Structure 1
Amino acid sequence: MSTETTALPTSPQQVQGTSRWLSWLLVATLVYLLLAAVGAIGAGFKSAAGDNAKALFEFASNPLISLIIGVVATALIQSSSTVTSIIVGMVAGGLPVAIAIPMVMGANIGTSLTSTLVSLGHVRNGDEFRRAFSAATVHDSFNLLAVAIVLPLELLFQPLARTSEWLAGLLVSDASMSMGNINFMKALLAPATGLMKESVAWLPGVWSGVALILLGIGIILMVVTQIGNVLRTLMEGKAMGILRTAVGRGPVSGMASGTLVTVLVQSSSTTTSLIVPLAGSGMFSLKQVYPFILGSNIGTTITALLAATAITGDAAMVALQIALVHLLFNVLAIALIYVLPVLRALPMHMAELLATQAQRNKAYVAAYIGGVFFVLPLGLVGLSQWL
């Protein structure tokens, strides 16, 4: 009497293939949860604030306050992808786009703290530390300079708000025309968002909306972290291969590789943390690292764009608009700073000066980190109150 058994993977190659397939399935599940969580945040804000969402954010009507919120939130969470995804959900729930735009800019500054901390791993070797610290702080320097230039332009002429609104109108209109009256995304996400709403429905009044917001934020924090971990494991070898073959081939190749690696690992913090040790060891020069890091700024915008697809109905356009603002801000910053020869080298000079001083006296490191991520935000708060 014979019995049939299901063949199990026995060779290392088969086991590895099965493991990779399960990992990609996990990534797909996590992306689904991310989209559902963003939708839950929007629904939570609508439930909690009703028609008073704009009044709820009057405290952040000053652009400097909004900028600080983005900086501090991202510095604490260490993920601009997470913060911008949360902002997308908040905009869908009623946060005015004008308030959200400086928050998105602040997220770019806050995420650069990770690579600066990674550079401290070379602190015992003077030359290595100088190279690593300059590679890390060129990211900070560029983002600070970008905000200093683009934020005043935005306040005066609204190039980001107007361009993103126009593009979002085209994209949302095209999507509506192509799918008719059938909203596939809403139907796809309905089971997960419905379950989240039911889990907090027992709370009275506005508290169910508040709980739904907190639940959505918690899920986004977990999901973005786990997506990064899984993709890092899946793509680490490929990402490092891209680094070694593309970074040193010129600025266009460097930006493209920085964008691609960040899309693969879903974290600009991870991307810049990969390149800093290589710069510290002398494998890449600051001039080679610089465009790669700018590419990581573009690559990290994919998460917010993905999150915007979770929003349906009347809020779909503004959700997509703020996600596009993140992309357009980074593209405009590169066009204004890197493309223009008069400004291109300024972030490198700033980073090299900081690195030289930090190599001579490590107190400069503490002063720099504390100044940029704590003293400067507090100073801006005081300035905004004075103005």
Structure 2
Amino acid sequence: MIFELVGGLGLFLLGMKNMSDGMQAVAGSSLRRLIGAVTNHRLLATTVGVVVTCIVQSSSITTVMVVGFVNSGVMELAQGVGVIMGANIGTTITGWILVLKVGKYGMPLMGFSAFAYLFSRGDRYRYWAMFLMGIGMVFFGLEIMKDACSIIKELPDFEAWFARFNADTYIGVLKCAAVGCILTTLVQSSSATLGITISLATQGVISYPTAAALILGENLGTTITAFLASLGTTTNARRAAYFHVLFNLIGVFWITLIFQWYIGLIQSIIGVDVAKMVMVDGTETYPNTVAAIAATHSVFNIANTILFIPFVTPIVRFLERVVPSRPFKEKPRLTDLDVRILDTPLLAIEQSRKEILKMGDGCLKMLDWLLELMNAEEPDKSLADRLKQREKVLDSVQDEVAEFVTGLLSANVSHATAEQARRQLRIADEYESISDYIANLDKFDRKLRRDGFRFTPEQRADLQELNRHVAEYVAAVHKGLSTENHNVATSTSASSKRIRDEVKALRRKHLEELSAGSMPPVVSVAFMAALNAYVRVRDHALNIAETIDG
């Protein structure tokens, strides 16, 4: 019995993971757009939470992801709270999937989709096959668990032990909820405990009211994952995790007060007799309990969300008072990257993309500051220091992006995601190189000033014009990256060639000036070095454009 129960549960959980991975790969771009659509509008944030959790098939993944986003400052606490409420509704989809009476088709579905997964050439077909294979595993795993649970009825000691958990009194309801909570806390998966609960209920080992009380406890137990993920995070991330606990704790408290009326309402809503017994292979089964359990789970979370939505603002204020901000800077890192998001590769890759876009913005600012510094009659120390600091920051950001993306690549990700991750590593490196050359350009000017020299007025005018053209080119490439324009190299090729021709013309002009009159060697060397630096900025921007084009 134990071997069958453990094997069935393992297959069930592996199926849930395959469903999650398959859907994430298939719905990747939609998932990224959904997270980007999260605003302070409560209903919209809640809807996003529902849809994302239906896609990733796990409220734990969604809530941990929210803790990561709030921790990194990408999502505000009020937005995170809305998504968490939606995640609680979205997780009930598992129960409704199990309502489909396809248990006996679990094995053939698993087999056919496994062949499709192994022999399909296209990534999209493979991930659809993985999703269907996951469904097959879920149903086959559930059938194995049901067979294991049917043995319990033949063992009087086991049956007597389960009979002690009966939700016919208020204390009994609390006792069952506590068991569900403890079990879910131990395995850190409400889907696992849901599968066990359904297996026990369909075999008649436990009654429907007992199963409903266990489900309430499982809702509370699933909060442990986000709570553990919040340890060592920023204050706002801990507030988001505490909200998840508070949301489920209050929900379980009020629903247990009206429990007997509530389970009566559920039975009238679904319109089936949960006590109806059907003989299958000589064994008594209660198939209608699956729909009742799914409805119990869904209605509880929907009702709790409706109850909480009007009070989101006061609850957020309450959490801000209970969990006060720390008096020091909480983010030790420069980027908004968080390892907690690596569990959802498609969102992780979007997160690192945002950081690379920030690197590009930083390079464009540096080019603007460089122009200001070249135009200044007197050296502007504060602006020069800011430019140097920005270059150091971009070095560190590149290190953090590389560490994050490397961690992402070490996981099991799709070919498309892996390719995108490799492109991101290259683009981050190119932007960091651009910042190095911009910092060098300022060094040439400062060194000349320190030695009592300056570029001639004509050289300064030429360099300013070149700086403007290079800045326009880098901005066009950067825009192509932000809009994911895969023709950016072609559309900006004219600008790239113009910069190359402009530099060649300036070199010829400089050599003619050298032969025509006297120019201090240090000025000549600095001018040629500046031209070379601008060429290198253009080359690295061209590399980015070609990387975007694939």
TM-score for both structures, normalised by structure 1 = 0.45
Considering Cα pairs closer than 8 Å and 6+ residues apart, tell me whether 1 or 2 has the greater RCO.
1
Bigger radius of gyration among the two: 2
TM-score for both structures, normalised by structure 2 = 0.32
Flag the structure with higher helix content: 1
